[in-house]
Structure 1
Amino acid sequence: MSRTPPARFTRPRIALLAAGALVAGAAGTAAAANPDTRENAAAAPGCTVDYKVQNQWDTGFTTAVTVTNTGDPAGSWQVEWSFAGNQKITQGWNTQISQSGTAVTAKNVSYNGSLGTGASASFGFNASYSGTNAIPTVFKLNGVTCTTGPGGPGGPTDPPDPTDPPAGARVDNPYQGAKVYVNPEWAAKARSEPGGSRIAGQPTGVWLDRIAAINGVNGGMGLRAHLDEALRQKSDGELVVQLVVYNLPGRDCAALASNGELGPTEIDRYKTAYIDPIAEILADEKYSGLRIVTTVEIDSLPNLVTNTGGRPTATPQCDTMKANGNYVKGVGYALNKLGDVPNVYNYVDAGHHGWIGWDDNFGPSADLFKQAATAEGATVNDVHGFITNTANYSALKEDHFKVTDTVAGKSVRESKWVDWNRYVDELSFAQAFRDKLVSVGFDSGIGMLIDTSRNGWGGTARPTQPGPTTNVDTYVNGGRYDRRIHVGNWCNQSGAGLGERPQTAPASGIDAYVWVKPPGESDGASKEIPNDEGKGFDRMCDPTYEGNPRNGFNMSGALPNAPLSGHWFSAQFQELMKNAYPPLP
């Protein structure tokens, strides 16, 4: 049976007013100014500011700023500081930010202006620089100076925070207050691309997609090498390492491009030659100070719901895997073994809204996840959360139409694009699916991750307003950010862009936006390529393919000349950077 993991440190999941720092690098903290100690007096003006450089490269950096109001409530806010060097802000989010010379002014936007006593607001920005990147030392909130000093939060005179978890305990959100591991192998590939240095410092997932990957493939880094490098990156503070556990028997029964090395019946080999060695390495005391986040078996369980049992999308391979139970057994075993490691946080892959957002799929998927989470000795306590949109292109948020809209007497759900789905974007789906998972028996504290590595849909094709109200199709198609031909298209999509940068707690119930699928790694080959990785040729990766029932018999929308899945695809990397939203500097 699964050993009961250490108790999770639970605190209410609060949607931050803006995204916090996924990678907490160099930081400066400003303390409350002029506290009023008179009994029963109104709160004096005051603030604290937490300024953290998340990522930094040769010519630029990304920063997260959190301001906390320790004075009277404010209906709006304005934070000011001056740079000491030649830093130039190129892009901001969750704020109206401007710069004149070295002076910077960041104001609230419409949805985060209220700042009560003790409340915080967070925002972020990208900037360029050369030479040194000195951290500002003086900040003002609505004209009140927040002075730095040893008495600020985290300073030596601070009393211990009673809400902080005990050392070594699992925390509610592993990304909170932590840096995230930057894979040096991916970073080197990104940096070698024209313009790639702009994102080479972003954290991405490490994929363990075959047994050989545990020790390293073709001279590359194995699991221990990555964990050793993570210890070097950790220095002080907390650090998250993101791993993808992806090697089930009969893997990905509905998509040949990502077939795996193990046959449908090789469940014992999956356990003893794959999961057991991974668990043994992760349990090494040497790595106990790392927060290890696992994405468990992408695309497996939803296939048993949508691609079996006589449905138009069913495949014999998926029917086989449902009948032999090896997907459920494999996921349960992985959750059990990995969940026994005190510093591992398991997140189960939960497809995406364009897959299980329909009524026929939504509830049955949650039930199946519960079945897998209680198989092979696992319990729901072995599941810290779920991840959606892994390696997919579903838009994070559609601003120009809602599922509740009606046009010319018809619901948006009747449009060809939405096709009776209950959800039109990934954020609304992830939040609703979290509630459904809790209702079937998962812990009420589970959090969701959303992979935003390729769902930005920026560039010149990004709509700026709703579509014409001629009919429901013109309304949806004219306004949707997701420019795929069909929501069922998934392979190396033309026109796709990088999405939101990795961020912590960006919305209610969401632990983080992450880049689990490294940008630039192919989804599959556009033609048949002989290989020893067990990967087949899927016509959905062929730009000339005219489709199947899963994509409504539409063109695939795939880029040409793609290599095998997981191999570097320069054209895709450049496409994602070109169409990034938020745009790259």
Structure 2
Amino acid sequence: MTPRVRQQQGRRVRRARLAATLTAALALTTGSLSMASAADGSGTRTLAKLDNPYANARVYVNPDWSAKAAAQPGGQAIANVGTGVWLDRISAIAGSDEVMGLREHLDTALEQANGANIVFQAVIYDLPGRDCSALASNGELGPEEIGRYKSEYIDPIAAILQEYASHTNLRVVATIEPDSLPNLVTNTGGTAGATPECDTMKANGNYVEGVGYALAKLGAVQNVYNYIDAAHHGWLGWDTNLAPSAQVLYQAANAAGATRDDVAGFIVNTANYSALKETNFSLTDNVNGQQVRSSKWIDWNQYADESSYAGGFRAAAVAAGFNSDVGTLIDTSRNGWGGSARPTGPGPTTSVDNYVNGGRFDRRIHAGNWCNQAGAGLGERPKAAPEAGVDAYVWMKPPGESDGSSKEIPNDEGKGFDRMCDPTYGGNARNGNNPSGAKADAPLSGEFFPTQFQELLKNAYPPVN
């Protein structure tokens, strides 16, 4: 029997085990998942969780992504960096002969740990009507399929994670539904970026209910730490967006059985490109009598980078009602912006726009551009507690995985063609009617894109040695 055949047989056995779990999951309740309850019999969960799950722990390396990275020229240098595992459809839970499923990932994580502490990063990403403002990342579930989301997606994931709850050295970080809740603030109700799909999701309440249900079910597992996606500074950095978005997240954290205690923190810049720290200018700078905030790039935003935004969002979240000890994660997988185009100092003071544009590290045409951005580079390597209030820098988006296809590609995953992934597109209201800045010849979202991977390596900052 060849190794390949043995591997396929092993995966078939694991899928059979998953089928039994799916059946059992239908009967799960939040209470049955709880590892401990209050001694007074109130039923209140009293889970003794860590303040920072990344502290004194390594991060799981996904063998599926690692093999693709290592096969690329120069890729071996980062092939052993931990990345997120995206559970972006129901079938991803079981996996296939080609792709590992959740249980197989967890078994492999324990092998990699070899008795030490390890963080397994799972991206929970299959809401009904998913990503109502971007066709490239639409999902398999229709806007009203909240029942399927609960019983066929969240319940099986929670059941599997519960099986591994006794492994005290395994810490599961669940990134909850990127690009979902902020859409209810910025892309609804007649705003410039409003879409009918986002109006539908706000009206039916299934984003709020779905996130709440995920938080409650997963948060009840002893070694699971939930981090809700909080977009990025170029999306929510204005006063009109920041506090309202924090309030929507708090609403979800108290929906469908969840409480704020089910939230370990927030993640910003998930699968995005916003620079970690812009050091060549400050928002308080004045150029020829004009504030830097008035520049076209900043556009009166309260933040210019993800480090400052993470702190600002965290403060807004606490003000909205979240626990004061919540942490943040910053996805730095593609925000390095190194290479020959990286500025070495401020731009010329001939105008405020020249000053900012000449000095900014983020070389995108517009901060709202999000799809396969040309010129991007790997950012800071994953690191625990790199700065105050930040639990970790993470590579939640595996470098080299596409954001969306640059042209329409038929598929059975519910993923549409978004013109923001088309390099010839001239933009829309959500990116100030600017060119998309996307790379050509990109595959479907989630598929490996070697051309992008090579550019990320080339433009890495810090550089890849």
TM-score with structure 1 setting the length: 0.72
How many residues get paired? Answer: 425
CA distance in structure 2 between the partners assigned to 1:199 and 1:220 by the alignment: 20
2:116 aligned partner: 237
The alignment status of 1:487 with 2:367, answered yes or no, reads yes
User: Deviation string for 1:442-464 (max 9, x for gaps)?
Assistant: 11111100000000000000000
2:69 aligned residue (190, 204, 208): 190
Which of 413, 433, 436 pairs up with 1:556?
436
- 2:205 pairs with one of 317, 325, 338: 325
- Matched with 2:380 is 500
Q: Does 1:364 align with 2:244?
A: yes
Cα separation, 2, equivalents of 1:337 and 1:174 = 19
SS of equivalent residue, structure 1 residue 240:
strand
Q: Does 1:180 align with 2:59?
A: yes
Deviation string for 1:35-77 (max 9, x for gaps)? xxxxxxxxxxxxxxxxxxxxxxxxxxxxxxxxxxxxxxxxxxx
Q: Which runs of 4+ in 1 moved over 6 A?
A: 4-7
How far 1:217 sits from its partner (Å)? 3.7
What is the DSSP-based 3-state SS (H/G/I as helix, E as strand, rest coil) of the residue aligned with 2:392? strand
Which stretches in structure 2 are left out of the alignment for 5+ residues? 1-28, 38-46
How far the C-alpha of 1:2 sits from its partner, in A, is: 5.4
Match of 1:301, SS state, is coil
Q: Which amino acid counterpart does residue 237 of structure 1 have in structure 2?
A: A
User: 2:358: which partner in 1?
Assistant: 478
Partner residue of 2:128?
Answer: 249
Aligned residue for 2:182, secondary structure, equals: helix
* Counterpart residue type for residue 274 of structure 1: Y
Tell me what 1:520 maps to.
Answer: 400
- The amino acid across from 1:181 in the alignment is Y
The answer to whether the aligner puts 1:204 opposite 2:83 as a matched pair is yes
The yes-or-no answer on 1:352 pairing with 2:193 is no
The counterpart of 2:142, out of the listed 245, 252, 263, is 263
Give the Cα–Cα distance (whole angstroms) in 2 for the partners of residues 383 and 203 of structure 1: 22
Tell me how far apart the structure 2 counterparts of residues 2 and 220 of structure 1 sit (CA, whole Å): 29
* Higher relative contact order, chain-length normalized (CA < 8 Å, sep 6+): 2
Query: For structure 1, which segment, 437-446 or 239-248, has the greater mean C-alpha deviation from structure 2 after superposition?
Result: 437-446
How far did residue 438 of structure 1 move?
1.0
- How far the C-alpha of 1:470 sits from its partner, in A, is 1.0
Matched, 1:375 2:255: yes
CA distance in 1, matches of 2:202, 2:166: 36
* Alignment counterpart, residue 401 of structure 1, candidates 278, 281, 285: 281
Distance 2:35 2:376 in 1: 40
CA contact (8 A) 2:243 2:320 kept: no
Residue deviations 1:7-41 (CA, integer Å, cap 9, x gap): 9xxxxxxxxxxxxxxxxxxxxxxxxxxxxxxxxxx
1:5–1:339 CA contact under 8 A, matched in 2: no
Structure 1: which amino acid aligns with 2:146? I
Matched position secondary structure for 1:293: strand
Q: How far, CA to CA, are the matches of 2:247 and 2:282 in structure 1?
A: 27
Equivalent residues in 2 for 1:292-331, closer than 5 Å: 292-331=172-211
For structure 1, the 5+ residue unaligned runs are: 8-167
Aligned equivalents of 1:5, 1:285: Cα separation in 2: 12
1:339 and 2:219 aligned: yes
Larger Rg: 1
Identity of aligned residues (%): 68
1:215 aligns with 2:215: no
1:224 aligns with 2:224: no
Which structure's residues are more often helix, by fraction?
2
- The AA in structure 2 aligned to 1:194 is P
Cα RMSD, aligned residues only = 1.3
Report how far residue 218 of structure 1 moved. 5.1
Q: Separation in 1 of the partners of 2:55 and 2:99?
A: 30
**Compared with structure 1, are the counterparts of its residues 583 and 499 closer, same or farther at alpha carbon in structure 2 (3 Å cutoff)?**
same
Offset of residue 169 of structure 1: 3.9
Once the 2 structures are TM-superposed, how far is the Cα of residue 288 of structure 1 from its aligned partner?
3.0
Looking at structure 1, the residues matched to 246 and 100 of structure 2 have their Cα atoms a distance apart, in angstroms, of: 35
Structure 1 counterpart of 2:462 = 582
Aligned to 1:152: none
Give the CA deviation at 1:405: 1.2
Point out the more displaced range, 168-177 or 309-318.
168-177
Residues 251, 260 of structure 1: 8 Å contact kept? yes
In proportion to residue count, which structure has more strand?
Answer: 1
Q: Distance in 2 between matches of 1:287 and 1:192?
A: 36
Distance (Å, rounded) in 2 between the aligned partners of 1:389 and 1:488 = 12
CA-CA distance at 1:406 after TM superposition: 1.2
1:84 is matched with: none
Q: Is the 8 A contact 2:371 2:403 kept in 1?
A: yes
Q: Are the structure 2 counterparts of residues 257 and 217 from structure 1 closer, same or farther at C-alpha, using a change threshold of 3 Å? A: farther
2:181 partner SS: helix
CA contact (8 A) 1:2 1:378 kept: no
TM-score norm. by structure 2 comes to 0.90
